[in-house]
Structure 1
Amino acid sequence: MSTARYHHGNLRAALVEAGVAAVRESGPDGVALRDLARRVGVSHNAAYRHFADREELMGEIAGAGMAALGEEGRRRLDAVGETDPVRRSRLRLRALGRGYVAFARAERGLFRVAFADHPSLDGTPTMDVEAEAAAWEGPFGQLVGCLDEMEAVGFLASSARPGAEYTCWAAVHGLSMLLLEGPLQKLPDEAAEAVVEEVLASLDRGLGATTGTYAPLD
């Protein structure tokens, strides 16, 4: 591939794109700046002009992974067509949880990189939970928004709202890791999906119990 297409500021983005592809193919260990430079058709010196080291590149790939997870969440949320406010808020939270686990299982390498301890370019953690929660843009912000909706429609008690996002996030992320590399990783797809539904139903029951308004969705 000619290097000409990268003379106007595109090389950095091309290296990140190649890094995402490498992670999808071989996991985090498959990322090396020299290899990515060859993949996009430039010298390794050109690559090092855009990234000081591998960690800086991994931070960008982690950001791309988080953005892809956020896009999956938006797609799942937008697909909920329920109009009843209470049911809608509950179904949206379940849809978000399903999308999170589905992404983790389909994008194993990218998911691992997204949540690895890679700094962003300014040295801060990759995920700024407060900023993205306020913007509703990423997976954590989407979760915060769903729980705020539940509180607004009276399914989740205001007294139980603080910190509920961490309970939900821990449950779904922990389940994702059990399915990826824990004792649940060999479950057939149907059995894994049943476990996901039970965990999401348990969260739903617990949230509804705070106001005494819980009733099965089905």
Structure 2
Amino acid sequence: MSPADSAPDRRTSYHHGALRTALIDAGIALASEGGPDRVVLREAARAAGVSHSAAYRHFADREALLAEVSRHARAELAAEMRRRLSRVRDPRARLHAVGTSYIDFALTRTGLFRTAFGAAAAPGDGAADDPHRILGQVLDEALAAGLLDPEVRPGAETAAWSAVHGLSTLLLSGALPTTRPDIDAAVSQVLGLINRGLLSTFSQR
């Protein structure tokens, strides 16, 4: 019998719904430490101070907990994107801010980043705190400002998302140099290509 199974069931010390929140918080902490593979229901139960069986009353399995943690991770990324966007008004600068916030989140909060877009996650679900939706809003602003060709707008999220996610993944894997100057140069090049590719041609007609 594992320590988690033999631990006293202290769920009565939690108010209604509080144990579920405690398990999610524990899952978030685990994801921050080691990404989605670290999110294990048994470990979350141990951290919350309850038995494994008590945790199952709130989550059917590990995947159910991971899905909740993934949603939180995406919400954290979305919040960072909105913080960056609050500082700028120019549509070009806002597109750049979305990209830099995404890449910086990947590099500084790697565990949550990997969890946000793991197997349990589905970007683009339309929630208000969905990073994909925020990117779409910024592109719509550029369209309204006359900076984005209406013919280019459909699918523009996919092009921009693929570029920043691809760069983030390559940096995290070590496939690209990771000194600060190298990272800054790569970010500048990729975001510059996105900006010019999506906005420049139409705005200069």
1:122-164 C-alpha deviation (Å, 9 max, x unpaired): xxxx4362623xx4x3211111111111111111111111111
| TM-score, normalised relative to structure 1 | 0.84
Aligned partner of 2:157 in structure 1 is 165
Query: Given the alignment, which residue of 32, 38, 57 partners 1:49?
Result: 57
1:145-190 C-alpha deviation (Å, 9 max, x unpaired): 1111111111111111111111001101111101111411x41123
1:101-124 C-alpha deviation (Å, 9 max, x unpaired): 000111111111111121xxxxxx
1:45-66 C-alpha deviation (Å, 9 max, x unpaired): 1111111111111111111111
Aligned partner of 2:134 in structure 1 is 142
What CA RMSD, in Å, does the superposition of the two structures yield over aligned residues? 1.9
The one-letter code matched in structure 2 to 1:57 is L
The one-letter code matched in structure 2 to 1:107 is R
Query: Given the alignment, which residue of 103, 109, 115 partners 1:107?
Result: 109
Structure 1 segments unaligned to the other structure (5+ residues): 83-87, 119-125
Structure 2 segments unaligned to the other structure (5+ residues): 1-7
Within-5 A mapping of 1:1-218: 3-80=11-88, 82=89, 88-118=90-120, 126-127=121-122, 129=124, 131-132=126-127, 135=128, 137-184=129-176, 186-213=177-204
Counterparts of 1:148 and 1:7, CA distance in 2 = 43
The one-letter code matched in structure 1 to 2:180 is D
Counterparts of 2:188 and 2:93, CA distance in 1 = 12
Alpha-carbon contact 1:160-1:210 (below 8 Å) kept? no
Secondary structure at the counterpart of residue 126 of structure 2: helix
Q: CA deviation at 1:29?
A: 2.3
Change (3 A) 1:27 1:117: closer
Poorly superposed stretches of 4+, deviation over 3 Å: 1-5
